[in-house]
Structure 1
Amino acid sequence: MERRIKIIYIITIVSIIAFLGMQAYWLNSRYEYSITEYSTTVNEKIMAAIKAYRNYQSENKNIPTGDYKYNTRSSLSFNQDITNSKIAHITTYVFDAHKLLSIPRNQQLTKEQEEEANNIALNKIKDLDYTDCTFKVDNAPKESDIWDAMRDFELEFYSPFTAEGLDSVLRREDITADITIATLDTMLWQNKFEHQKSLTSPHIRITSPFSALEKKVVIIDYDIPVSNVITIMMDTLILSIIISLLLILCLIWQISTIFKQNRLDKMRNDFVSTMIHELKRPIATLKMCVFRDSITNACWKTVKPVMKSSPTAVTHSTACRPILQNCVT
Structure 2
Amino acid sequence: MNHSKYQIILYVIVLVIISTIGIQGYWNYKNYQSHRRQLVNDVQTSLDKAVDDYYTQLAEKTTFAFSFVNDTISSADHEHSEISSVLKHFDSTKSLLDFSKDSIKGVKIYTGYSADSIMELAQSDLERKKDSLIQSNIKNNVQYLDIKKLTSKVMISINSDSISLDNLSHLVNKELSRKQLDITYQLSFKAKNEETKKAHVWNPNTLEPPYLETQSKSNFLPKGSQLTIQFSNISSILLKRMVLGILISLTLILGVIACLIFLLKVIRNQKQLAEVKNDLISNMTHEFKTPIATIGVALESLKDFNALSDQKRTESYLNISNQQLTKLHMMVEKLLETATLDSHDLELKLESNNINDLLLQLKQKHQLQTNKTIHFSHPDEHIFALLDAFHFENAINNVLDNAIKYGGDIIKMTLSKENKRVLLSISDDGNGISKLHKEHIFDKFYRVPQGNTHDVKGFGIGLFYTKTIIEKHHGSIFLDSNTKQTTFTISIPHG
Shorter-chain TM band:
0.5 to 0.7
Q: CA deviation at 1:43?
A: 1.7
Contact 2:215–2:226 (8 Å) recurs in 1 = no
1:182 aligns with 2:187: no
Could you tell me which residue of structure 2 aligns to residue 104 of structure 1?
none
Q: State the secondary structure of the residue aligned to 2:163.
A: coil
- Separation in 1, partners of 2:232, 2:103: 55
Letter in 2 for 1:178: Q
| Alignment of structure 1 residues 1-329 onto 2, 5 Å | 1=1, 2-61=3-62, 72-74=86-88, 90-92=91-93, 97=102, 100=105, 111=122, 152-154=157-159, 156=160, 160-173=162-175, 174=177, 176-185=184-193, 201=210, 203-208=212-217, 210-212=221-223, 215-223=224-232, 225-278=234-287
Report the AA paired with residue 97 of structure 1.
Answer: D
How far residue 151 of structure 1 moved from its aligned partner, in angstroms, is: 5.7
More helix by share: 1
**Contact 2:211–2:230 (8 Å) recurs in 1:** no
Identity %: 20
Matched AA of 1:58: A
C-alpha change, 1:94 and 1:235, in structure 2 (3 Å) is closer
C-alpha displacement at 1:179, in angstroms?
0.8
Q: Distance in 2 between matches of 1:244 and 1:98?
A: 76
**3-state SS of paired residue (1:97):** coil
How far 1:202 moved relative to its partner?
Answer: 5.2
Q: What amino acid is the match of 2:5?
A: R
Give the C-alpha shift of residue 267 in structure 1. Answer: 1.1
Residue deviations 1:261-296, cap 9 Å, x none? 211111111122223345555666677778889987
3-state secondary structure, aligned to 1:73: helix
Q: 1:204 to 1:224 in 2, by over 3 A?
A: farther
**SS of 1:161's equivalent?**
coil
Conserved? CA contact 1:72–1:91, under 8 Å: no
Aligned partners of 1:31 and 1:233 also within 8 Å:
yes
Q: State the AA in 2 paired with 1:204.
A: E
| Alpha carbons 1:208, 1:219 under 8 Å: kept | no
Q: How far apart are residue 219 of structure 1 and its match?
A: 1.8
* RMSD over aligned Cα atoms: 4.0
Counterpart residue type for residue 265 of structure 1: A
Tell me how far apart the structure 2 counterparts of residues 292 and 241 of structure 1 sit (CA, whole Å). Answer: 75
**CA–CA distance in structure 2, aligned partners of residues 293 and 251 of structure 1:** 62
Task: Indicate the SS of the match to 2:87.
Answer: strand
Structure 2 distance, partners of 1:60, 1:35, is 38
Cα distance per residue 1:110-145 (max 9 Å; x no partner): 75989xxxxxxxxxxxxxxxxxxxxxxxxxxxxxxx
Deviations 1:132-188 (A, max 9, x none): xxxxxxxxxxxxxxxx9876232x27xx5111111011112226520112235489x
Q: How many residues align?
A: 219
Distance 1:241 1:274 in 2: 48
Give the conservation status (yes or no) of the 8 Å contact 2:190–2:225: yes
Residue 161 to residue 181, structure 1, CA distance change in 2 (3 Å): same
Separation in structure 1 between the aligned mates of residue 189 and residue 15 of structure 2, nearest angstrom: 55
Scaled by the length of structure 2, the TM-score of the pair is 0.38
Task: Give the partner amino acid of 1:32.
Answer: Q
Larger-Rg structure: 1
What is the alpha-carbon distance in structure 2 between the residues aligned to residue 99 and residue 34 of structure 1? 56
1:47 CA displacement: 0.8
2-structure distance, mates of 1:96, 1:287: 137
- Do the aligned partners of residues 283 and 51 (structure 1) sit closer, same or farther apart at CA in structure 2, a change above 3 Å counting? same
Give, as a single letter, the amino acid of the residue that structure 1 aligns with 2:246.
Answer: L
Contact 1:204–1:224 (CA<8 Å) still a contact in 2?
A: no
Q: Which amino acid aligns with 2:158?
A: F
Q: CA deviation at 1:205?
A: 2.0
Q: Conserved in 2, the CA contact under 8 Å of 1:74 and 1:150?
A: no
Deviations 1:66-94 (A, max 9, x none): xxxxx95159xxxxxxxxxxxxx934496
- Which structure's relative contact order is higher, taking Cα pairs within 8 Å and 6+ residues apart? 1
Give distance in 1, aligned partners of 2:193 and 2:227: 14
1:67 match: none
* Closer, same or farther: CA 91–9 of 1 in aligned 2, 3 Å: same
